[in-house]
């Protein structure tokens, strides 16, 4: 498989939240605004790429029986780095994402890619895989956050885009709205794929 193919599979064919239906916890919880989705996505992408690189480099050193423990330590370290950096330079975003930043550790996309891909492949394809999956995840979260923000609040990235007469569907900003949006997007993607 070519590097380009590893990269692009994360963007449509295996885009994590909608096609693999992985990582739904942050997908549903933080996408109340496009900006939050983007921040969460970028944080996850960073952890995903870094952990893929390290796992791929260490894949021959780590004994099979303790590989999951080793992967988790690697992933958790990068998550703490993200958390401290975000706290130091992007405090408002850090406040909004809250507990979901530490929870990146248990995001099954990251452990899934480490286990299913990086531990069996060399560094370059692992970077492509992590980057593709991460960007796919980021775009999905930003898209979902954008939809919920536009219809739930009448804004996009904090800028008002709807007229004054717009009545926001505030349910979209609550948990049920997240499920409804996710379901509609999943359905739409299945429909498009089936037509091809």
Partner 1 sequence: MRELVRMVVVLTVICAASGFVLSYVNEATQAPREYQLLKYVQEPSIKAVLPSYSNDPIKDRIELTMGKNEKGEPVKKTIFPAKENGKVVAIAYGSAANGYHGPIDVMVGIDPEGKLTGVSVMTHTETPGLGARVVEPAFSEQFAGLEMSGQLNVTAQGGKINAVSGATLSSKGVVNAVRSALEVFPQVKKEVF
Residues near partner 1 (CB under 8 A) are 58, 61-63, 65-66, 69-70, 73-74, 76-77, 80-81, 84-85, 87-89, 91-92, 95
CB 58, min distance to partner 1, A? 8
Residue nearer to partner 1 on the CB measure, 118 or 139: 118
Residue nearer to partner 1 on the CB measure, 21 or 68: 68
Q: How many CB atoms lie within 10 A of CB 186?
A: 14
Contact 39, 97 (CB under 8 A): yes
Beta bridge partners of 160: 155
CB 5, min distance to partner 1, A? 31
> Could you tell me which of 84, 86, 124, 131 has the C-alpha nearest to residue 109?
131
Residue nearer to partner 1 on the CB measure, 14 or 83: 83
Number of H helices, E strands in the chain: 8, 2
- The tokens for 57 are 């480099």
CB 139, min distance to partner 1, A? 28
CB 84, min distance to partner 1, A? 5
Q: Where are the alpha helices (DSSP H) in 100-174?
A: 108-116, 123-153
CB 59, min distance to partner 1, A? 12
Residue nearer to partner 1 on the CB measure, 87 or 190: 87
Residue nearer to partner 1 on the CB measure, 92 or 183: 92
- Dist. CA 134–CA 154, nearest whole Å: 28
Mapped onto helix, strand or coil, the DSSP state of residue 69 is helix
């Amino acid at each position: 498989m070519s590097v380009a193919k590893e990269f692009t599979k994360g963007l449509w064919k295996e885009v994590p939240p909608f096609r693999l239906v992985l990582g739904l916890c942050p997908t549903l919880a933080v996408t109340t605004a496009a900006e939050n989705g983007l921040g969460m996505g970028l944080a996850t992408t960073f952890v995903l790429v870094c952990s893929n690189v390290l796992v791929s480099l260490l894949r021959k050193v780590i004994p099979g029986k303790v590989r999951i423990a080793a992967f988790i330590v690697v992933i958790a370290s990068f998550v703490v780095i993200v958390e401290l950096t975000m706290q130091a330079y992007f405090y408002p975003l850090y406040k909004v994402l809250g507990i979901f930043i530490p929870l990146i550790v248990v995001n099954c996309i990251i452990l899934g890619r480490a286990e299913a891909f990086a531990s069996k492949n060399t560094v370059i394809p692992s970077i492509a895989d992590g980057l593709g999956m991460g960007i796919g995840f980021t775009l999905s979260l930003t898209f979902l956050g954008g939809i919920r923000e536009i219809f739930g609040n009448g804004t996009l990235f904090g800028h008002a885009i709807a007229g004054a007469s717009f009545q926001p569907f505030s349910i979209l900003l609550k948990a049920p709205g997240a499920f409804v949006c996710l379901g509609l997007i999943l359905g739409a993607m299945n429909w498009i794929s089936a037509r091809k």
